[in-house]
Amino acid sequence: MTIMPLQAAEHADSDRSDRLAAGRLTLAWALAELPPHIRMVLLLFVAGYPTHEIAVWAGTSNGAIKSLINRGRTRLRAQDAG
C-alpha cells in the first residue's frame, strides 16, 4: 500500500471526481442521441426493471424488449468507439 501526502491524495480524489463527472456527461449525451423508445427501455432496464415488466408497460413482447436493449447497447458502443 502506498501512502501519499494529504495534498496529493486530495488532488487524486479531485482528478477521479472530474473524470467521473466527465463520464456521466458523456453518457448523458450518448443516451440523448438514442431514439426515445430505445432510451426509455435502456433506462428502465438499468434501473432494475425486468424485461418482462418493461414489455408489459410498453405493450410488446419480452423478445422485442431484449432486442431494443441489444440495439441500444450496440449504438452506445458505436458512439463510444466513434
Cα separation of 48 and 26, whole Å?
22
pTM: 0.68
pLDDT at 10 exceeding the cut of 60: no
Place of cell 415488466: 53
pLDDT at 40 exceeding the cut of 60: yes
Confidence at residue 1, expressed as pLDDT on a 0 to 100 scale: 47
Confidence at residue 80, expressed as pLDDT on a 0 to 100 scale: 76
Cβ atoms of 72 and 42 within 8 Å: the answer is: yes
- The full DSSP string for 2-66 is PPPPHHHHHHHHHHHHHHHHHHHHHHHHHHHTS-HHHHHHHHHHHTT--HHHHHHHHTS-HHHHH
Sign of CA pseudo-dihedral 44, 50, 53, 58: positive
Average of pLDDT values for 71-78? Answer: 92
